[in-house]
Structures are given as C-alpha cells and as structure tokens.
Amino acid sequence: MSVLAKIVAAKRAEIAAGLPSPASGSAPAHTPIDVVARLTRSRSGGAPLRLVTEIKFKSPSAGPLSRALSAGERAVAYAEAGATMISVLCDRPFFDGSYADLAEARGALRARGLDVPLLAKEFVIDPSQLVCAAAHGADAVLLIVRLIDQATLTALVSRTRELGLEPLVEVINDAELAMALEANARLIGVNARDLDTLEMDAARAGRIVAAIPKGRVALHLSGVRDEAAVAEVSRGRADAALLGEALMRQEEPRPLLRRLVQAADQQ
C-alpha cells in the first residue's frame, strides 16, 4: 500500500469517528480573506512571485521537522517576514498537524493584527472536512485531485465556496489539470512531488504549471528551497510558490524567508 493510500484509509477512519469542533474561544470569528486576489500576480505591473509558507511538524518524506516554534508562533514569524499565505497541515498521523494548529495560527495572527490568509492543508475526501476547516479559521482548503473522482471534485469545489472559502486544487499531470479546469478551479497548484512515490520531478511540475490557462492562479508546490529556486519559478508562469521543508527546518525562519522574499522581488 502506498503512503497516499495509507493516508486516505486513516482519513476515512478519522471522519467516521467524528471530526473535532473548535474549543471554546480557540478560533476567533473570521471573515475569509479573498485568496484569489492575494495570490494573483500581475505581470503587467511587474508583481513578484507570491510565497506560500507551510506549518508542518513532520512528513513521510522528511521525517520530524522543527518544533522550536508553536503553530501560532510560526504563523506570526512567517507573516512578519513576508508570506502571502500560510498553509497549515491538519493531518495528525502522518504530518503531526491538527485543526487545533489551524485555529492557533488564526488566533495568533489576529492578536498581532496580521491579515494573512490560511490554507487548511488536508486530505479532503468528505464535505465534513470543509466545514471543520471553516470553523477553525481557514480561508482556503486544499483539494487533491488524486484522491477523488470528477463528480466528487466538482461537488467539493462548490461546497468550499458555499462556505466562503476558496479551494486550491492540486494536480500533478495533464489529466488532473483537465479535471481541475472542468471543476472550475480558480487556484490550481502543481505538486512537484508525486504523492504515491514521494519522488520529485521539477521539470514535470514546470510543464504543467505552464499549461494552466490565463485567468487561473497557478501555484508551484514543493521543491522550492533557496533563492535560486525562487528565481527560476519566478521566471515562469507561476503566480505563487509553496515553501515547505526548507523553512520548517529553521528554528527561526524569518531570516531565510526574508531572503526568499527578496529573491522574488528582484525578478
């Protein structure tokens, strides 16, 4: 059984057991931020690549990552250093995340007056997960095409928007991109990592990102670790790029993130 299949099996059991409700006062009332507007990169105005940072405390490919900062502290650090959006892992067994981390990040940002959107990064197979993400302070929710069929994807995209959130639809190949377009996804992310094999293929990701039509927000997901990688992605079609493990290996991520933001600004 692949890692992805194991994750989905665990997710079905988790949903059957009942998803968590926010603890009293843990997730401040929140009007979702317009993520499409925040991530759209205006080529005519010379806007820089948008950078999406990530809070995840471990992964199947990287193992344990830094816990020097809590989810709330790391969210504040990312926001202060220039992140356009922050992704929060909500899966416990494989990524050591939770919906509580999402609520904590939202509360910490709100307390500092930092208006940065949050992406609930989860393996969504059921609408109840969307409701849970909204209740814990999300602005956007990840939908991975690999996990579901066309009808389910279209229904989940619609339900996400009904909740006031924006779906970020993740694909890895031409067939999945076609499914995302059929579902009317406005945010489309291309993962450079194959979730079945965990292998990276930046060339494939770049080709699929380049195929995303105008009028959709294109994101390059995974594999962006340094200034050179930011510069390379900046020169292409992408509106935004996800920065994951490189920042999560930093006990204090602000210096590295500021350098990466500067690298994006210089393109």
Asked which of 45-54, 210-219, 248-257 is least confident by mean pLDDT, the reply is 45-54
Q: Provide the token pair at 204.
A: 């494939």
Q: What pLDDT, on a 0 to 100 scale, did the predictor assign at position 21?
A: 86
Q: What pLDDT, on a 0 to 100 scale, did the predictor assign at position 201?
A: 83
- pLDDT tens sequence across 182-225: 999 999 999 988 777 778 888 898 999 999 999 999 999 988 89
pLDDT at 116 over 90: yes
Number of H helices, E strands in the chain: 11, 10
Q: What pLDDT, on a 0 to 100 scale, did the predictor assign at position 45?
A: 63
- pLDDT tens sequence across 129-147: 999 999 999 999 999 999 9
pLDDT at 25 over 70: no
The whole-angstrom separation of Cα 171 and Cα 179 is 9
First-residue to last-residue Cα distance in the chain: 43
In a domain, 130, yes or no: yes
pLDDT at 27 over 80: no
Q: What pLDDT, on a 0 to 100 scale, did the predictor assign at position 244?
A: 84
pLDDT at 30 over 90: no
Mean pLDDT of the chain: 93
Per-residue pLDDT band for 74 (boundaries 50, 70, 90) equals very high
Domain count of the fold of the chain? 1
Q: What is the pTM of this model?
A: 0.95
Residue 115, burial from CB neighbour count under 10 angstroms (0-12, 13-18, 19+): exposed
Q: What pLDDT, on a 0 to 100 scale, did the predictor assign at position 33?
A: 96
Range of the domain at 204: 3-16+39-265
SS3 70: coil
pLDDT at 26 over 80: no
The whole-angstrom separation of Cα 57 and Cα 164 is 28
CB of 170 within 8 A of CB of 143?
A: yes
Please tell me the number of Cα atoms within 13 Å of 167 on its side-chain side: 29
> The domain spanning residue 154 has which CATH number?
3.20.20.70
Q: What pLDDT, on a 0 to 100 scale, did the predictor assign at position 37?
A: 96
pLDDT at 120 over 90: yes
User: Mean pLDDT over residues 77-94, rounded?
Assistant: 97
User: Mean pLDDT over residues 95-114, rounded?
Assistant: 96
Kind and range of the H or E element at 140? strand 140-144
User: Mean pLDDT over residues 89-116, rounded?
Assistant: 96
Q: What pLDDT, on a 0 to 100 scale, did the predictor assign at position 155?
A: 98
- pLDDT tens sequence across 243-252: 989 999 999 9
